[in-house]
Amino acid sequence: MRPNVAKFDRIDNVKLDDDYSCPPDVKASFATLTKSRRYTWNEHNHQHTVQFFYASGNCDQRMHYIASILAVLPCNKPLRADILLSPVKKEYPEDHVFGQAHVNTGYASDEKIVVYRKEEWLKVFIHECFHYFHFEQSLMNPIFVPRILKLFPVQSKVNVYEAYCEVWARALNCYLISAYTSIPVSILLRQEKKYSMRHMVNVLHHMGLTYASIQKPSSFREKTNVLSYVVLANIVFNQNYIQTHPTVQANGAAFVRFIETHYHNPEFIRAVEHTKPSTPTTTMSLQSIE
């Protein structure tokens, strides 16, 4: 059953804060977000609050999507989220080192989720929910870092929990779009897997690298979690981790073991080798919804 957003409390003309942590060009664009709406509702003994700041579109419909996601997640505390639908899109870096401006679209603290681009906003909201509700907590153990660096000896903080959140976000985004569009989820997931592979190949190519070259000491550098978002997430997403581990609460040991077991799977390697660099892919997911 879809949530009845009409019963949520709504307030328009909400004040926009100026303390968001986002790229300067994104923050400058907030002046174009002339509309706002706050939704408040109670569910499972929690009072949730979501604020939209936007230039156009149907926020009641967007709120439907968010409420539908929350209905299937085991929310362990009240949600607070600000969704700022900036028109500024991500681009590849001229210096070939990917940072926040080229990769990120939101963040989460213990107090609030912030999504600051319209581009792939819903998928990013789902990703940040996994941080906000601490579904990835078991992957924060530092013992996992050297195990990943043994596979990919690169300069990276190896925040492997980012790969976990990203894989689940891509999958749930496909399921939600399927529910609202009646497109079979199997088709959406298959398209998403192909896009994930192409995105990894494109990003590494822009860095002057390949999947094979980052398995040796290389020139790989990042200013945000590219290894986790792009490489580790692609390994896991393309080899059906969620189908065999369908619980949102992470099992850190199982997740890292899955990467160790599958990163050099012959079928996966063939798929990498058959995927050629193409037009730059600046989003981390193919499927999106307004």
CB atoms near residue 71 (< 10 Å) = 13
The pLDDT score that the predictor gives to residue 290 is 80
48: closest CA among 24, 69, 29?
A: 69
Q: Residues of the chain whose pLDDT is less than 70?
A: 1-3
Residues 168, 72: contact at Cβ < 8 Å? Answer: no
159: closest CA among 221, 236, 224, 235?
A: 224
The pLDDT score that the predictor gives to residue 203 is 98
The pLDDT score that the predictor gives to residue 258 is 98
The pLDDT score that the predictor gives to residue 2 is 63
The pLDDT score that the predictor gives to residue 18 is 86
The pLDDT score that the predictor gives to residue 154 is 97
The pLDDT score that the predictor gives to residue 43 is 84
The pLDDT score that the predictor gives to residue 285 is 94
